[in-house]
Every structure is written in structure tokens, then in C-alpha cells.
Homo-oligomer: A and B are copies of this chain.
């Protein structure tokens, strides 16, 4: 099936590369941003455009753009290519966003991973969650997903909302904990890389133990002595101190619930 990739950000880039490597035919890249469109098109060895009116006819439009841009883009394309399968890649958007845009055939292809431009990803290990407006369309997406990943699941829009929220916790919030530690260490002349064994072990532990079982440190036993000393160290950075306090309280709250 001929695919058009709508969007050229991190997700579109990693997905496009995985599709081409698996032998799919990406016939065009569209992006508002010329530089992004060209860069990705060169990597995928296909034409590109920044003009929505120049988007070519294809069997599937894979739309990987900001949530706020999705519906307008989809409406315009659906209007011209009403028989095609329209697919978005957003964890937080329902399938209905595409049917509301007028698509008769639509689906979701959500690869749950954190994609950065500067880092390659083994797409075969990325869990992909698919959903579609009909069993036939779902079968098409399922086949597409299985061609790039070993971990393919069917999931409703309703359930995907919670999955995406969970992903924000384990990825974005976790990374922010790393970021706050990095700034703190930097400020005091300590190298961040001494943290890597602890970061790795914290991630590895939850392959074996539940996160509740894996928890250690001052907050879980609510050691007011240590917590108080840490809050003093953060006294010059009120929002971070407040974050520390809330995190510690919530760790303790959860520990009490799990025990009770």
C-alpha cells in the first residue's frame, strides 16, 4: 500500500524509517516546515511538499502531527481522498477525531515510546496500539504494525487515554526527576553520570518487582529527619522544594494504601 506521511517530527521520522526498512512504500512526506519535510524525505528517499494541496493520492495517510493540527489537516485531506485510510499516531486523541473530520476509513497507530531526533530506536521493541473504524481497516493496521514491531495490541480510544497518561508518568515525569537531579548535581560540581547505575537499577527492578515492592528511601518510611534535611538543601528553590514535599507525601500515602 502506498503511504503518505503527514508530519516530519520525531515520531514521524522514527516511524517513517521503520516503515521503509520493512519494505513499505512511503510515496511522499508532508510538513508545514520545509526543512523538516526535506530532511525526512531525503532519509526516506521520497518526494516532499509543504503545500497540503500538493499531497498526492495514496491508500493510507499516516498523520503524525500536533494534536491541535490533526483535525484541520485530516479534514482537508479527507475532502480530496475520501476512499483512503486515515490514521493518526496520537496517544491522547480518540479515533473519533478522524471520523469527525469526515473520514470513512480511519484508524489509530500509537507507538508508545519516547522519540528524540538524536537517538535511534529499535522499533521492533516498541509497543504499538492499534484501533480502527472497521474490522477490515483494523486488520490492515494490525498487519502494518506487525511488520515493524513485535509488540502489537488492539486498544480502544477509551483505554488508550489511560495508557497515554501512564506513559507521561513513566517517561516524561521520570525524565524530569533525572533533570532535576542533573541540575542539582551540576550546581554543586558533581557529574550526573555517577547516577546512571542507580537510574538503570531503578528501571530494571520493576521488571521483577511491582513498583510498590521496589520502593526504598526516606519517603516510603516517612523519615522526617532526612526529608527535613533535604528540604533545607532546596530552600533556595521553592518550586522544587514543593515538588519534593508533594512527591514524598504521595509516596508515603501510596505505601500506606498498599500495606492497608
Contacts and interface: CB of A to CB of B under 8 A. Distances in A.
B201 A207 contact: no
Given A112-B194, A226-B92, A180 B176 contact: no
A7 to B, nearest CB: 15
Contacts of A183: 254
A239 to B, nearest CB: 6
Given A179-B215, A180-B169, A243 B233 contact: no
A164 B175 CA distance: 18
Contact of A229 (B161, B179, B180): B161
14 contacts: A68-B225, A92-B229, A92-B230, A114-B202, A114-B214, A116-B209, A116-B213, A118-B208, A167-B181, A168-B217, A173-B247, A176-B215, A182-B211, A239-B250
Interface of A: 10, 66-68, 92, 112-116, 118-119, 121, 125-127, 151, 153, 159, 161-185, 187-190, 192, 194-203, 205-220, 223, 225-226, 229-230, 233-234, 239-240, 242-244, 246-247, 249-251, 253-254
